[in-house]
């Protein structure tokens, strides 16, 4: 994990704005980081993982939900990448991964240590090129050099007068405040339980909604100051990228699944829950309510897909706000049902419930890597035993 997160390739990309504004590169970074340290899931190209998005990225990187959230908002608002826009990959699969996390305790500890890493003066020369706080950098960089709007690109495409340029400066400053709002929701501790993960997910979405609220008024003011020709030029930013992606996808420029279907299986693991948790009759009723809540959340998210008529930056940002509102509602409803079910479980049942996700990830990794079932079983017997012991100690 240290090698992956501290690699010069990853560290360099995280400090390179021209790289980070490319959604494909962000997907590669998140894929490498999301599978770092997970045996059988990382082959050097970031492939693998049932919780992976359709276009290559990951909604969860260790304890962090929605890496590069600021950039995903920016991309769709100003560039409108269309079919391959990473913003619309987020959906039910991420809620599912929040409930059944693919990460075990040791995995999450490694991510948090990396996010808190500090290089001492004594070791600075020995570790030159190693970048601390890689995970925090995925939360949303708030420096103008990294997170600021492409002012030069906008000014080049849209010739502005003094009033319009002042409005663009206001929008640029608002975008930096929005990035800071999103970065403030970066996790500072490990979420060891499913309820804690959904709580972290909710805080992240709420921060993104707040960021949208910050940006919307100055964006609308700037757009309203433009004449029709200038608006057309601004709307056309990123058109070349959209045309390329539309051609690659057979002329289909709109995603229809909206993050509901991800590359892996997200079916409800009823058999695993029965075999490991052994719920009582009362717990089964609460579990049924949780399953019903997740099914309704999936329907809600599937019904709020990317609109085809959002062709202006203000309209696309409004679509983002609506989607985030639906995601927040979905997470809240599932979280309430999950809290009720989880609260009825014993310490041992909770530990077994938390072990389902890591075991599923290991099974997928063993299949991809060709690992034998015997080796797989030995690896996770120890891992889950450690999780159980830590959970029981923590819950007392």
Relative to beta strand 64-65, strand 60-61 is antiparallel
pLDDT tens figures, 167-208: 999 999 999 899 889 988 888 888 899 999 999 999 999 999
Distance CA 314, CA 306 (A): 14
Q: How confident is the model at residue 247 (pLDDT cuts 50, 70, 90)?
A: low
Note the pLDDT of residue 2: 65
Task: Give the Cα separation of 185 and 190 in Å (integer).
Answer: 13
- pLDDT value of residue 204: 96
Cα-based torsion angle of the residue sequence 331, 334, 335, 340 in order, rounded to the nearest 10 degrees: 170
Average pLDDT over the chain, rounded to whole? 78
Please check whether residue 39 is in contact with residue 379, taking contact to mean a CB–CB distance below 8 angstroms: yes
Residue 109: which pLDDT band, with cuts at 50, 70 and 90?
A: confident
Domain residue spans of the chain:
59-102+140-395
Q: Which of 227, 242, 243, 221 is nearest to 314 (CA)?
A: 221
Per-residue pLDDT tens digits for 278-309: 999 999 999 999 999 999 999 999 888 878 77
Q: Which residues, other chains included, contact 389 with Cβ-Cβ below 8 Å and sequence gap of 6+?
A: none
Q: Is the pLDDT of residue 344 over 70?
A: yes
Which residue in 339, 328, 349 sits closest to 395, CA to CA?
349
pLDDT at 19: 73
Band the pLDDT of 129: cuts 50, 70, 90: very low
**Once rounded to an integer, what is the mean pLDDT over residues 230-234?**
93
Percent of the chain with pLDDT over 70: 68
Written in H, E and C, the secondary structure of the chain is CHHHHCCHHHHHHHCCHHHHCCHHHHHHHHHHHHCCCCCCCCCCCCCCCCCECCCCCECEECCEECCCHHHHHHHHHHHCCHHHCHHHHCCHHHHHHHHCCCCCHHHHHHHHHHHHCCCCHHHHCCCCCCCCCHHHHCCCCCCHHHHCCCHHHHHHHCCCCHHHHHHHHHHHHHHHHHHHHHHCCCCCCCCCCHHHHHHHHHHHHHHHHHHHHHHHHHHHHHHHHCCHHHHHHHHCCCHHHHHHHHHHCCCCCCCCCCCCCCCCCCCCCHHHHHHHHCCCHHHHHHHHHHHHHHHHHHHHHHCCCCCCCCCCHHHHHHHHHHHHHHHHHHHHHHHHHHHHHHHCCCHHHHHHHHCHHHHHHHHHHHHHHCCCHHHHHHHHHHHHHHHHHHHHHHHC
- pLDDT tier at 130 (50, 70, 90 boundaries)? very low
Tell me the sheet residues that pair with 64: 61
What is the pTM (predicted TM-score) of this model? 0.82
Cβ atoms of 358 and 386 closer than 8 Å: no
Task: Name the pLDDT band for 236 (thresholds 50, 70, 90).
Answer: confident
pLDDT for the residue numbered 132: 39
Measured distance CA(88)–CA(256) in Å, rounded: 10
pLDDT value at position 51?
Answer: 86
Q: Which of 56-70, 75-89, 353-367 has the lowest mean pLDDT?
A: 353-367
Chain-centre distance for alpha carbon 291: 23
Residue 155's pLDDT band (cuts 50, 70, 90): confident
pLDDT at residue number 143: 60
- What pLDDT, on a 0 to 100 scale, did the predictor assign at position 133? 60
| 123 pLDDT higher than 80 | no
d(CA 100, CA 91): 15
Distance separating alpha carbons of residues 145 and 122, to the nearest angstrom: 29
CA-wise closest residue to 328 among 210, 178, 237, 239? 210
Using alpha carbons, list the distances in angstroms from residue 387 to 175, 192, 355: 41, 9, 8
pLDDT in tens, 367-383: 443 333 333 333 333 33
Give residue-wise pLDDT tens across range 12-70.
Answer: 777 776 777 778 888 888 888 888 867 545 444 444 678 888 888 899 998 999 999 98
* Residue 72 contacts residue 329 (beta carbons within 8 Å): no
What's the average model confidence in pLDDT over 214-224?
97
């Amino acid at each position: 994990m240290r090698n992956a997160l501290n690699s010069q390739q990853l560290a360099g990309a995280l400090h390179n704005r021209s790289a980070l504004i490319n959604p494909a590169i962000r997907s590669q970074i998140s894929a490498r980081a999301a599978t770092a340290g997970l045996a059988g899931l990382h082959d050097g190209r970031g492939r693998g993982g049932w919780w992976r998005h359709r276009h290559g990225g990951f909604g969860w990187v260790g304890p962090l939900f929605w890496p590069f959230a600021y950039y995903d908002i920016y991309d769709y608002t100003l560039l409108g990448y269309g079919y391959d826009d990473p913003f619309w990959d987020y959906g039910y699969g991420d809620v599912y991964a929040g409930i059944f996390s693919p990460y075990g305790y040791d995995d999450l500890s490694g991510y948090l240590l990396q996010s808190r890493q500090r290089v001492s003066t004594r070791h600075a020369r020995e570790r030159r090129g190693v970048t601390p706080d890689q995970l925090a950098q995925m939360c949303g960089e708030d420096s103008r050099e990294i997170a600021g709007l492409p002012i030069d690109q906008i000014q080049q495409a849209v010739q502005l007068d003094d009033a319009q340029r002042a409005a663009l400066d206001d929008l640029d400053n608002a975008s930096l405040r929005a990035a800071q709002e999103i970065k403030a929701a970066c996790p500072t501790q490990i979420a060891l339980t499913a309820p804690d993960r959904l709580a972290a997910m909710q805080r992240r979405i709420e921060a993104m909604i707040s960021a949208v609220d910050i940006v919307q008024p100055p964006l609308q003011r700037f757009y309203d100051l433009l004449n029709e020709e200038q608006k057309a030029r601004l709307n056309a930013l990123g058109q070349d990228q959209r045309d390329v992606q539309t051609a690659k996808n057979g002329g289909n420029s709109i995603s229809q699944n909206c993050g509901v279907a991800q590359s892996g299986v997200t079916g409800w693991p009823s058999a695993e829950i029965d075999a490991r948790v052994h719920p009582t009759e009362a717990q089964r009723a609460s579990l049924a309510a949780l399953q019903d809540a997740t099914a309704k959340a999936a329907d809600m998210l599937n019904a709020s897909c990317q609109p085809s008529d959002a062709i202006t930056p203000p309209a696309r940002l409004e679509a983002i706000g609506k989607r985030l509102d639906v995601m927040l509602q979905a997470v809240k409803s599932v979280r309430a049902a999950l809290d009720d079910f989880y609260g009825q479980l014993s310490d041992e049942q909770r530990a077994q419930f938390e072990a389902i996700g890591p075991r599923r990830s290991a099974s997928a990794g063993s299949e991809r890597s060709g690992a034998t079932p015997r080796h797989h079983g030995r690896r996770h017997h120890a891992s889950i035993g450690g999780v159980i012991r830590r959970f029981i100690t923590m819950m007392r």
